């Protein structure tokens, strides 16, 4: 991106490193490596996990509600983007999670329905629509009662009567309540209609679709925005006269409605009124030129009128705009086959059309069979090099920090340090349980480091446990020795899930693989921050190594933290039997 770096915006100015050429940077684009990319929604869900586990203080009600609304909106936009990018199966996964959290949002249900339709999964679309119907039946009565209560206190016309004193928040909430009170009647009717229109192979199903179209026409037929939908719907069930009626209505509302004009061209083509096809198609293309299917229809019609040169031109335009259109290639092949000198070229186009049809069939089969993509593995964790420094000159001035992810062995490490003679900072509020039979060794203040660090000086000469995500909030001016616990992320997540299940709590709504990726990226950022702090010394300890070789780890701790340190007692504090989660393989 062109532009000037606003160095003056920073309190501590730093030189911005220039990139001579992105062509010299490995990778397909200029994004950060996966371990440095930030996914706000996933990070928020991981934060909820840490709050549920008790390692970070919860947000206030207002802040939590605002964050939840923001995350939900971001997730909804993500789902729409995924659907627009042809990843409707992935979009559906996101939408199901959103619906589970807030089943009263009609747009979530509608978008999920459309995802199933994109995948040609009619059974899935039916299930999504049935779930929408059930949700509306549940929340509509509550919305009706709430709306009646508000109107009894203040009628709708009084809410918006005075432009200067309008309560826009109340207006917005009432509009939402009115939609919910109606059970999203019209949107659901449209979805039922779309589903019926996709299954019109038998006369009975055509009749059912026609009845739904009549209901839509009666309910909303006078709305300008519905005319095109009704025209398309009636055309698909063979009601060309009614389709033309709504096309004329759409064109009266907007004489340059290129979609309505294109649909009219299609109706004329079906009726073999080729001259009228040409007239309507040319008018629509003059408004919006990129319409591959309309170029194809125009090409076929011109061929039927004997205008073969113009027909070939339109068919080639259709192929250029949409190379995967098998029908256009087949039509072009049949058209130029009339010329004996071009039989070879015609054969190539006809063969390509057949290949495209076969590919489309296989792609449809894959989409129907696919339920969810295989999650990507979590990236590896770059840790710290083995520590080869000197012990602190005066341990009474050192704040010893034990950190890592929840369930990575931080409590075990605190037990080792306590046994070795280093006093733990703990308030005893979190008592031992089946998850940590020997205790948690925690202090509630450690969950508020991002809000209050006034207590840190009192931790000099002691050991305090702080979750890794809060380490960057440690204040400058202290001498820190950080024991950073690492554990296989599969084991960490499995242990967290088991703990939450025993506590009867719900953590973040995120898949295991996604949570592992977020944790990995967060640990990389914390470690990167630590490496920029010269006053912070770090010893990286692998949980598995501590369980298997506690004496060796105890010796490393003694060298890192200085004397006095009872290495033998520290090693004896490790109980390998408490390791209940192990990674597969």
Question: Could you say which of 356, 373, 390 is where a domain stops?
Answer: 373
Q: What is the model's pLDDT at position 368?
A: 52
Does 419 lie in the same domain as 369? Answer: no
DSSP-assigned beta bridge partners for residue 564:
none
Residues 354 and 489 in one domain: no
**Tens of pLDDT, residues 136-170:** 999 999 999 999 998 888 887 777 666 665 667 78
H-helix or E-strand containing 583?
none
Q: 575 and 419 in contact (C-beta within 8 Å)?
A: no
354 & 400 share domain: no
Residue 303's domain comprises: 256-373
More confident residue, 113 or 50: 113
Looking at 311, 346, 373, the residue that finishes a domain is: 373
Same domain for 365 and 324: yes
Query: Residue 223 pLDDT more than 50?
Result: yes
Domain identity same for 423 and 350: no
Same domain, 303 and 448: no
Residue that finishes a domain, picked among 323, 342, 373: 373
Residue 377: CB partners within 8 Å, gap ≥ 6? 513, 516
Strand 398-404: give its sheet, edge to edge. Answer: 463-467, 398-404, 479-486, 536-542
What pLDDT band is residue 569 in, cutting at 50, 70 and 90? very high
The mean pLDDT value for 419-434 works out to 82
Rounded Cα distance between 453 and 530, Å, is 18
pLDDT at 246 over 50: yes
Q: What is the pLDDT of residues 20-51, one digit of tens each?
A: 777 777 776 666 666 566 555 566 666 666 66
Domain total in the chain: 2
Res 395 pLDDT > 50: yes
199 inside domain: no
In a domain, 42, yes or no: yes
For residue 551, how many C-alpha atoms fall within 13 Å in the half-sphere facing its CB?
1
407 falls within a domain: yes
Confidence of residue 278 (pLDDT cuts 50, 70, 90): very high
Claim to verify: residue 285 and residue 349 sit in the same structural domain:
yes
Residues 506-562: pLDDT tens digits?
665 667 777 788 788 788 888 888 888 888 899 989 888 899 889 999 999 999 998
Ranking 43-57, 321-335, 346-360, 457-471 by mean pLDDT, the lowest is: 43-57
pLDDT of residue 24: 74
Identify the CA nearest to 456 among candidates 428, 478, 434.
Answer: 478
459 and 539 co-located in one domain: yes
pTM of this prediction? Answer: 0.54
Highest mean pLDDT among 426-430, 473-477, 513-517: 473-477
Residues 478 and 408 in one domain: yes
Q: Is 273 within a domain? A: yes
364 pLDDT above the threshold of 60: no
User: Regarding predicted confidence, which is higher, 449 or 126?
Assistant: 126
Q: Does residue 328 share a domain with residue 433? A: no
Contact predicate 173/151, CB 8 Å: no
436 in the same domain as 517: yes
Give yes or no for residue 18 having a pLDDT over 80. no
Residues 163-222 have pLDDT tens digits of: 665 667 788 888 889 999 999 988 999 899 999 988 887 888 888 888 999 988 888 767
Residue 483 lies in a domain: yes
Q: Which helix (H) or strand (E) holds 573?
A: none
pLDDT computed for residue 371 by the predictor: 40
Task: Give domain status of residue 192, yes or no.
Answer: no
Q: Is a pLDDT exceeding 90 seen at residue 128?
A: yes
Do 286 and 422 lie in one domain? The reply is no
Residue 492 clears pLDDT 90, i.e. is over it: no
Domain at 351, CATH number: 1.25.40.10
The verdict on residue 98 lying in a domain is no
Q: Answer yes or no: is 464 within a domain.
A: yes
pLDDT 10s digits, 73-106:
888 999 999 999 889 999 999 999 899 888 999 9
CA distance 71 to 79: 12
CATH of the domain at 539: 3.40.50
């Amino acid at each position: 991106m062109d532009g000037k770096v606003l160095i003056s915006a920073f309190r501590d100015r730093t030189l911005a490193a220039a990139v001579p050429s992105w062509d010299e940077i490995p990778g397909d684009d200029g994004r950060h490596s996966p371990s440095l990319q930030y996914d706000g929604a996933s990070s928020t869900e991981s934060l909820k996990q840490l709050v549920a586990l008790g390692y970070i203080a919860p947000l206030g009600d207002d802040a939590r509600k605002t964050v939840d609304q923001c995350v939900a909106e971001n997730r909804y936009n993500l789902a729409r983007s995924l659907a627009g990018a042809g990843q409707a199966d992935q979009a559906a996964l996101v939408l199901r999670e959103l619906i589970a959290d807030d089943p009263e949002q009609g747009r979530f249900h509608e978008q999920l329905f459309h995802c199933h339709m994109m995948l040609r999964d009619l059974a899935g679309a039916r299930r999504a629509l049935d779930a929408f119907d059930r949700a509306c039946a549940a929340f509509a009565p509550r919305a009706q009662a709430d709306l009646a209560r508000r109107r009894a206190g203040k009628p709708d016309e009084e809410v918006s009567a005075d432009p200067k004193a309008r309560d826009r928040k109340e207006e917005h909430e009432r509009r939402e309540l009115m939609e919910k009170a109606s059970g999203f009647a019209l949107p659901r009717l449209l979805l039922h209609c779309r589903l019926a229109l996709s299954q019109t192979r038998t006369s009975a199903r055509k009749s059912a679709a026609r009845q739904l179209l009549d209901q839509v026409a009666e309910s909303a037929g006078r709305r300008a925005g519905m005319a095109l939908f009704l025209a398309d719907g009636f055309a698909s069930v063979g009601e060309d006269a009614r389709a033309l009626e709504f096309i004329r209505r759409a064109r009266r509302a907007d004489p340059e409605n290129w979609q309505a004009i294109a649909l009219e061209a299609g109706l004329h083509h079906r009726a073999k009124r080729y001259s009228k096809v040409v007239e309507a198609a040319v008018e629509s293309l003059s408004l919006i030129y990129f319409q591959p299917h309309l170029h194809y229809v125009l090409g076929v019609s011109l061929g039927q009128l004997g205008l073969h040169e113009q027909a070939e031109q339109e068919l080639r335009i259709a192929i250029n705009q949409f190379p995967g259109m098998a029908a256009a290639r087949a039509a072009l092949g049949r058209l130029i086959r009339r010329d004996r000198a071009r039989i070879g070229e015609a054969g190539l186009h006809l063969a390509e059309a057949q290949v495209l049809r076969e590919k489309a069939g296989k792609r449809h089969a894959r989409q129907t069979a696919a339920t969810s993509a295989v999650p990507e593995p979590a990236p590896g964790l770059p840790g710290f090099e083995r520590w080869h420094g000197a012990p602190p000159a005066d341990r009474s001035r050192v704040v010893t920090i034990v950190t890592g992810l929840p369930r990575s062995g931080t409590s075990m490490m605190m037990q080792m340090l306590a046994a070795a003679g280093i006093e733990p900072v703990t308030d005893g509020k979190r008592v031992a349980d089946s998850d940590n039979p020997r205790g948690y060794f925690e202090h509630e203040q450690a969950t508020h480091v991002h809000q209050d660090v006034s207590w840190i000086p009192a931790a000099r000469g002691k050991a305090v446990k702080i979750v890794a995500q809060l380490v960057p909030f440690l204040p400058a001016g202290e001498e820190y020795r950080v024991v950073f616990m690492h554990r296989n992320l599969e084991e960490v997540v499995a242990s967290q899930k088991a703990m939450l299940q025993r506590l009867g709590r719900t953590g973040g709504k995120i898949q295991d693989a996604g949570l592992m990726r977020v944790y990995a990226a967060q640990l990389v950022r914390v470690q990167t921050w630590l490496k920029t702090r010269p006053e912070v010394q770090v010893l990286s300890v692998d949980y598995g190594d501590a369980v298997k070789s506690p004496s060796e780890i105890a010796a490393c701790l003694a060298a890192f933290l200085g004397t006095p340190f009872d290495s033998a007692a520290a090693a004896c504090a490790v109980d390998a039997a408490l390791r209940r989660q192990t990674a597969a393989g």
